[in-house]
Chains A and B, each alone.
Chain A
Amino acid sequence: MTAQRVIGVALLVAALVAPWVAYPIFLMTALCFALFACAFNLLLGYVGLMSFGHAMFFGISGYFFGHVVKAWGMAPEVGILAGVAGAAVLGAVTGALAIRRQGIYFAMITLAFAQMIYFFCVQAPFTGGEDGLQGIARKPLLGGLIPTKDDRVLYYVVLAIFLFGYGTIYRIIHSPFGQVLKAIRDNEQRAVSLGYEADRYKLLAFVLSAALAGLAGATKAMVLQFATLTDVSAAMSGEVVLMALVGGLGTIIGPVVGAFIIITMQNYLAATGEFVLVIQGVIFVVIVMAFRKGLVGELTDWWKSRRRASS
């Protein structure tokens, strides 16, 4: 598909030029959320598992990053690795329990575990409770090779991290492993009868998704220099669902588009307080009622039908 390649190159060029046009901090935040939404979509869009507690991986990883960098004074790379590892372990534990139930129960179980982690973070000594971890210093990366005080330099680091995460997800989806995941999504019984141990595939996908959400969370803590309870809250779990849904579930670029739309909207509406939530709620309702394929999904459909009509 050449059209796809053209769009891809155009997006990459836009991403490289972006920090000279838009505010770098905004772009970096949006990229972190985009990666978070892609990680969530890996589960829902390609395995059919609806996790309504993904904020626990995103948030806990930010805390791990903050603790390692601030309290232990170690390098940011170590912090990010710690965040990813922590999120992966948490994903392995909660995932192993959650996949014992199916369908809508899976969503409720992940939601409940996320709430448990939230209460844990309110009380745990290393999270700073209601205040969170503030003022995590930005240290240079790769032993001083990359200075990160300049927002534009850091932007390219974040872009590289995002592309790494995005590429990983792309590879997973297009690998034999990804094919099995899709088979489980479409018909679990049949996948099992073909000899695939569905639970092991689901668990591995869950851990991968949790680790990638952790990568996004730790990166966000590095950019914004704080980690707070907002990132582990149920509202954040809902937000990432919304991002993936707005962009289009099961499309690889959809969650990125959705994340940019939602973050932009929040930026403009921040002053209106409660109305951000009301509008998010309305978007949920409208999408479920009318545009279940999301922006990218609907556009692709429209494009396909147009081409079919012209040929």
Chain B
Amino acid sequence: MFELLGIPPQALFGQLLLGLINGAFYAMLSLGLAVIFGMLNVINFTHGAQYMMGAFAAWLMLTILDIPFWVALVLAPLVVGLFGVVLEKVMLKRIYHLDHLYGFLLTFGLALVIEGLFQWKWGSSGAPYPSPIPGGTNLGFMFLPTYRGFVVVAALVICLVTWYGIERTRLGAYLRAATENPTLVRAFGINVPRLITLTYGLGVGLAALAGVLAAPIQQVSALMGTNLVLVVFAVVVIGGMGSIMGSIVTGFGLGLVEGLTKVFYPPASNTVIFVVMAIVLLVKPAGLFGQTK
């Protein structure tokens, strides 16, 4: 077999796959954040907690109700999305007129409450979720577990469907119009507040869907979203929240960068995304795909 700069291909491609999977989660989560921010003007700090809730919902459905993974993949995001809708109706709705800061603080507080409660009920050690597609294929240069391949493809499909829904459908057009000028869109007889609620539900559902997909790869635990959401913030700063496609590309790209760092200089793998963020801020302060400052 060939070698690249002294790195065995098994290690290189293994880490690249891992990077691609991480990137898939960055993409799905930053996409949800961008969609929510566009409509609600709120940075949803609860995103990590809602991702965790998705994983937990799937795990509880499996262990208590014996609901298989494929059903949970649809059901769990619906349940968590509904929770998001309630949250929007009861709390978020009341703070749109305030500075962005308050949405950030409110959702941060909610994340503390949700994660604290889950930790209290189920502890902080993780619970395993059996892989729905066990086994894998030997590609010659590396071993590919089938489920991991599935996650990458599924994430791509989810991202592209979301992009299509927002950029190419009528509902998406309403959504973009309401982001630009809510008053005018309301004058046309479109129920903007309901659109906002739906958007939040959709964004939260996306986070939960990512959580369900992550359950068989990671341990299902109360704090699985805590650090992830911080990395996703950096991803969002790097990409800029102006463009849907930008979020997707940035997410996957940074996952790969992280994977490569793990191969060539492992100690920096935790921090590389933040370093990239610093460089982007120096060179292009608005973010790679951002338009305004």
- Could you tell me if B233 and A112 are in contact, using CB atoms closer than 8 angstroms? yes
Interface pair B100/A104, CB less than 8 Å apart: yes
A87 sits at the interface (CB 8 A): no
Give the shortest distance, in Å, between B106 (CB) and chain A (any CB).
4
9-residue interface stretch from A1-9, A67-75, A148-156, A274-282: A274-282
In the complex, whether A89 has a CB less than 8 A from a CB of chain B is: no
Pairwise interchain contact B106-A288, C-beta atoms closer than 8 A = yes
In the A-B complex, the 9 residue pairs with the closest CB atoms: A284-B109, A281-B112, A281-B113, A278-B116, A116-B274, A100-B285, A277-B116, A112-B234, A119-B270
B233→A101 contact, CB < 8 A = no
Contacts known (A112-B274, A281-B116); A241 close to B285, Cβ less than 8 A: no
Q: Are B102 and A288 in contact (CB under 8 A)?
A: yes
The distance from the CB of B54 to the nearest CB of chain A, in whole angstroms, is 20
Q: Are B108 and A238 in contact (CB under 8 A)?
A: yes
> How far is B277's CA from A234's CA once the two chains are assembled, in angstroms?
18
Q: Which B residues are in CB contact (< 8 Å) with A101?
A: 237, 281, 285-286, 293
Does B190 make an interface contact (CB < 8 A)? Answer: no
Q: Nearest residue in B to A280 (C-beta to C-beta)? A: B112
Complex Cα spacing A109 to B114, Å = 24
Interchain CB contact under 8 A, B233 and A288: no
* Interface members, chain A 99-157 (any B CB < 8 Å): 100-105, 107-109, 111-113, 115-116, 119-120, 122-123
Q: A116 near B271 (CB under 8 angstroms)?
A: yes
A-B contact pairs, 14 of them (CB 8 A): A100-B281, A101-B237, A104-B104, A107-B43, A111-B230, A113-B278, A115-B231, A241-B105, A278-B116, A280-B109, A281-B108, A284-B109, A288-B109, A292-B102
B292 to chain A, nearest CB (A): 10
User: Which of B189-207 touch A at CB < 8 Å?
Assistant: none
Partner of B112, one of A113, A115, A284: A284
Q: Which residues of A contact B274 (CB under 8 A)?
A: 112-113, 115-116, 119
Per-residue interface assignment for chain B, residues 252 to 289, with 1 indicating a CB less than 8 Å from any chain A CB and 0 otherwise: 00000000000000010011001101100110011000
Q: Which residues on B sit within 8 Å (CB–CB) of A100?
A: 281-282, 285
The verdict on A289 contacting chain B, using a C-beta distance below 8 Å, is yes
Check if A278 sits within 8 Å of B230, measured CB to CB.
no
Indicate with 1 or 0, residue by residue over B222-240, a CB within 8 angstroms of chain A CB atoms: 0000110011011011000
B68-123 residues at the A interface, CB under 8 angstroms: 91, 94-95, 98, 100-102, 104-106, 108-117, 119-120
- In angstroms, Cα B240 to Cα A108, docked, is 12
Distance of B284 from chain A, by nearest CB (Å): 10
- Measured between C-beta atoms, what is the minimum distance from A55 to chain B in Å? 12
Q: Which of A108, A245, A278 contacts B237 (CB 8 A)?
A: A108
Provided the pairs A109-B237, A113-B274 are in contact, do residues A288 and B95 lie with their beta carbons within 8 angstroms? yes
- Chain B residues near A275: list those with CB within 8 A: 116, 120
Interchain nearest-CB distance for B271 vs A (Å): 5
> Chain A contacts of B94 at CB under 8 A?
289
Give the distance to chain B from A111, nearest Cβ to Cβ, in Å. 6
Structural contact, B230 and A112, CB atoms closer than 8 A: yes
B109 in contact with A283 (CB, 8 Å)? yes
Question: Among the interface residues B120, B226, B230, which one has the most CB atoms of the partner chain A within 10 A?
Answer: B230
Q: Which residue of B lies closest to A290 (CB)?
A: B94
Interface residues on A, range: 35 or more
Contact between A284 and B105 (Cβ–Cβ < 8 Å)?
A: yes
Contact B267 A123 (CB under 8 A): yes
Instruction: Tell me, in angstroms, the Cα distance from A288 to B103 when the chains sit together.
Output: 8
B116 and A285 contacting across the interface, CB-CB below 8 Å: no
Q: In the complex, how many angstroms separate the beta carbon of A52 from the nearest chain B beta carbon?
A: 8
Find the A residue at minimum CB distance from B236: A108
A5 to nearest B CB, angstroms?
33
Residues of A contacting B230 in the complex (Cβ-Cβ under 8 angstroms): 111-112, 115, 234
- Shortest Cβ distance from B33 into A: residue: A108
Q: Are B112 and A277 in contact (CB under 8 A)?
A: yes
Beyond known contacts A107-B101, A278-B117: 7 more, CB 8 A cutoff: A50-B101, A112-B231, A123-B270, A241-B105, A277-B119, A281-B114, A284-B105
The complex places the Cα of A287 from the Cα of B119 at a distance, in Å, of 24
Q: Is the CB of A285 within 8 A of B43?
A: no
Cβ–Cβ < 8 Å partners of A15 in chain B: none
Q: Does A273 sit within 8 A of B, measured CB to CB?
A: yes
Cα distance, A190 to B170, chains bound together (Å): 41
- Chain A residues, CB < 8 A from B108: 238, 241, 281, 284
Which of B109, B115, B116, B236: most chain A Cβ within 10 A? Answer: B109
A residues near B91, Cβ cutoff 8 Å: 285, 289
Contact, CB under 8 Å: A107 / B104: yes
CB proximity of A32 to chain B, nearest CB, Å: 23
CB distance from A53 to the nearest CB of B (A): 10
**Are A245 and B271 closer than 8 Å at their CB atoms?**
no
Residues of B within 8 A of A265 (CB): none
Beyond A116-B275, A120-B271, is A289–B106 a contact (Cβ under 8 Å)? yes
